[in-house]
């Protein structure tokens, strides 16, 4: 607009966003330390329920990734004896308070888990320590619901423990609460503090957990993958964790995108990659992924698109996943562990005939609602896509110069302006354009 207001419509969700830069209150990236508060360092960590020492406050592990010397290894359905002796770098556990509950699947779909899961549950609860662990978790859960566990019979307790094993809403929890050698409370171990190798394995355990849920429950049509960093973004604890919520539908967002994709098979090229090329908005890329600002987002958002011909995370090769991981990690690294954000995964639904690319969107939760969104559905985001691109690019240059991110990442003007994006055709054959 002549006064400088930028009006945007998100091409995938139809969200309307106005950029009024006068409302900008500071930089996109929260690099300033408000207060350096020293804390008592304890090993093993016990600062929240997700910490190493407090493993009894999480449901039994379904999958763990751990280092054995220089090698990464994984273990499905470990016993109580295993989980009580050592703590993995990443672990997958059932969410104590499910969004889509085990009862939802059982009562609506007559869902019952496969033999390997039921055998794991029986073996786990057969030990005195395993039963005590689950009873402790049940006590915590029921106390929040105002139910006295001591009034339940043994049979009722066992029934109420089933979601810990059979549920389809999982958490993936990282080992560290604070970075190693931390002295102050702001030195939290975020995604950007993991390092490239650990971040890659954080992504691998997430993808492996998606596959495990699909094998476990044939009624799943989509799995919502998201990560809330810091309590203002919706996190229960300021401890790095990711959530996987299994759904029996695609969700409104993906339904809208697939509907648009059916009308325009080049949707993501036209309105994400090619648009960013034309408007000078490319942030960064490597050989396997490309990052651009999201247009029409109510929060400043960087979206990282996979360049792979495959459209679901578990269909990607290790090399392709590593490429995505490096670029996602780079964005987390430069926004710092002090910037409240959400990470959201989007990919082609399992039963969709229109393939859409895997992308990871990182939303910076630095904008407070203006107050008139409710009755107008117009959102105010004071950070323009160009301002977001410029600030992130500057931070990426500095990080690469300091060897904090991969040297293979090309930034800003280094990104090819003749990028060969992929056309998703109705017969699923991919053709290159531009």
Torsion angle of the four alpha carbons 202, 193, 286, 67, in this order, in degrees rounded to the nearest 10: -40
Q: What percent of the chain has pLDDT over 70?
A: 94
What distance in Å separates the CA atoms of residue 290 and residue 100, rounded to the nearest whole number? Answer: 33
Instruction: Give 152-166 pLDDT, tens digit per residue.
Output: 999 999 999 999 999
- Is residue 73 a part of any domain in this protein? yes
Residues 100 and 201 both lie in one domain: no
Residues 205 and 114 both lie in one domain: no
> pLDDT higher for 114 or 417?
114
Instruction: Give 81-103 pLDDT, tens digit per residue.
Output: 999 998 999 999 999 999 999 99
328, containing H or E segment? helix 318-335
Collapsed DSSP state (helix, strand, coil) of residue 427: coil
Q: What is the pLDDT of residue 372?
A: 85
What distance in Å separates the CA atoms of residue 420 and residue 373, rounded to the nearest whole number? Answer: 38
- Is residue 184 a part of any domain in this protein? no
What distance lies between CA 407 and its chain's CA centroid? 24
Residue 33 has pLDDT above 90, yes or no: no
What distance lies between CA 98 and its chain's CA centroid? 17
Among the candidates 168, 201, 216, a domain finishes at 168
Residues 240 and 314 both lie in one domain: yes
Residues 198 and 69 both lie in one domain: no
- Is residue 30 a part of any domain in this protein? yes
Structure tokens, 324: 């995505």
292, containing H or E segment? strand 289-293
- Is residue 1 a part of any domain in this protein? no
Question: For the residues 355-373, what does the mean pLDDT come to?
Answer: 90
Question: For the residues 23-52, what does the mean pLDDT come to?
Answer: 86
Residue 418 has pLDDT above 80, yes or no: no
- Is residue 122 a part of any domain in this protein? yes
Residues 308 and 193 both lie in one domain: yes
Residues 309 and 408 both lie in one domain: yes
Cβ 133 vs Cβ 161: under 8 Å? no
| Other residues' Cβ atoms within 10 Å of the Cβ of residue 422 | 21
Instruction: Give 307-325 pLDDT, tens digit per residue.
Output: 999 999 999 999 999 999 9
Cβ neighbours for 102, distance < 8 A, ≥ 6 positions apart: 162, 163, 166, 167, 168
Residues 240 and 126 both lie in one domain: no
Structure tokens, 334: 């430069």
Among the candidates 168, 202, 220, a domain finishes at 168
Instruction: Give 369-399 pLDDT, tens digit per residue.
Output: 878 888 999 999 999 999 999 999 999 999 9
The answer, yes or no, to whether the previous bond of 48 is cis (omega within 30 of 0) is no
C-alpha distances in Å from residue 146, one per residue of 58, 142, 151, 158, 236: 20, 6, 12, 18, 20
Instruction: Give 168-186 pLDDT, tens digit per residue.
Output: 999 999 999 999 999 999 9
- Is residue 47 a part of any domain in this protein? no
Confidence of residue 417 (pLDDT cuts 50, 70, 90): low
Cβ neighbours for 15, distance < 8 A, ≥ 6 positions apart: 9, 296, 297, 298, 377, 379
CATH code of residue 410: 3.30.428.10
206, containing H or E segment? helix 196-216
The total domain count for the chain is 2
Residues 242 and 367 both lie in one domain: yes
Cβ 334 vs Cβ 401: under 8 Å? no
Q: Which domain holds residue 76?
A: 52-87+95-168
Q: What is the pLDDT of residue 371?
A: 83
Residues 149 and 210 both lie in one domain: no
- Is residue 180 a part of any domain in this protein? no
Collapsed DSSP state (helix, strand, coil) of residue 86: coil
Residue 421 has pLDDT above 80, yes or no: no
Residues 334 and 376 both lie in one domain: yes
Number of residues assigned to the chain: 434
> pLDDT higher for 26 or 124?
124
* Sign of the dihedral through C-alpha 230, 236, 241, 247: negative
- Is residue 315 a part of any domain in this protein? yes
Q: Beta partners for 424?
A: 430
Question: For the residues 412-427, what does the mean pLDDT come to?
Answer: 57
Residues 62 and 23 both lie in one domain: no
Residues 107 and 195 both lie in one domain: no
């Amino acid at each position: 607009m002549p006064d400088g207001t930028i009006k945007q419509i998100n091409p995938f969700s139809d969200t309307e966003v106005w950029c009024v830069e006068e409302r900008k209150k500071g930089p996109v990236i929260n690099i300033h330390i408000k207060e350096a508060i020293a804390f008592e360092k304890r090993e093993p960590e016990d600062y929240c329920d997700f910490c190493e020492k407090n493993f009894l406050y999480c449901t039994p592990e379904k999958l763990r990734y751990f280092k054995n010397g220089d090698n990464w290894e994984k273990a499905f359905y470990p016993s109580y004896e295993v989980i009580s002796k050592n703590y993995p770098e990443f672990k997958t556990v059932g969410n104590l308070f499910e969004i889509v509950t085990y009862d939802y699947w059982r009562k609506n779909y007559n869902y019952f888990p496969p033999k390997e899961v039921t055998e794991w549950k029986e073996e786990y609860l057969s030990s005195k320590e395993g039963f005590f662990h689950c009873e402790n978790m049940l006590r915590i859960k029921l106390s929040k619901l105002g139910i006295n566990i001591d009034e339940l019979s043994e049979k009722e307790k066992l029934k109420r423990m089933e979601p810990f094993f059979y549920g389809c809403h999982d958490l993936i929890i990282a080992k560290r609460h604070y970075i190693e050698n931390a002295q102050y409370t702001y030195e939290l171990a975020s995604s950007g503090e993991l390092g490239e190798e650990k971040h890659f394995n954080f992504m691998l355990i997430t993808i492996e957990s998606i596959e495990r849920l699909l094998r476990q429950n044939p009624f799943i049509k989509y799995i919502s993958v998201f990560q809330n960093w810091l309590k203002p973004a919706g996190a229960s604890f300021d401890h790095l964790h990711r959530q996987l919520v299994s759904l029996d539908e695609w969700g409104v967002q993906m339904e809208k995108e697939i509907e648009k994709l059916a009308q325009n098979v080049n949707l993501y090229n036209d309105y994400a990659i090619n648009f960013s090329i034309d408007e000078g908005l490319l942030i960064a890329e490597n050989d396997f992924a490309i990052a651009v600002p999201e247009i029409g987002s109510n929060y400043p958002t960087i979206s990282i698109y996979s360049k792979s011909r495959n459209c679901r995370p578990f269909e990607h090769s290790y090399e392709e996943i590593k490429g995505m991981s490096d670029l996602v990690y780079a964005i987390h690294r430069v926004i710092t562990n002090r910037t409240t954000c959400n990470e959201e995964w989007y990919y082609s639904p399992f039963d969709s005939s229109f393939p859409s690319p895997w992308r990871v969107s990182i939303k910076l939760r630095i904008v407070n609602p203006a107050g008139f969104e409710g009755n107008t559905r117009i959102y105010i985001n004071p950070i323009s896509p160009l301002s977001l691109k410029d600030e992130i690019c500057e931070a990426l240059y500095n990080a690469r110069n300091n060897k904090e991110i991969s040297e293979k990442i090309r930034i800003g003007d280094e990104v090819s302006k003749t990028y060969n994006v992929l056309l998703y055709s109705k017969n699923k054959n991919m053709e290159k354009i531009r």
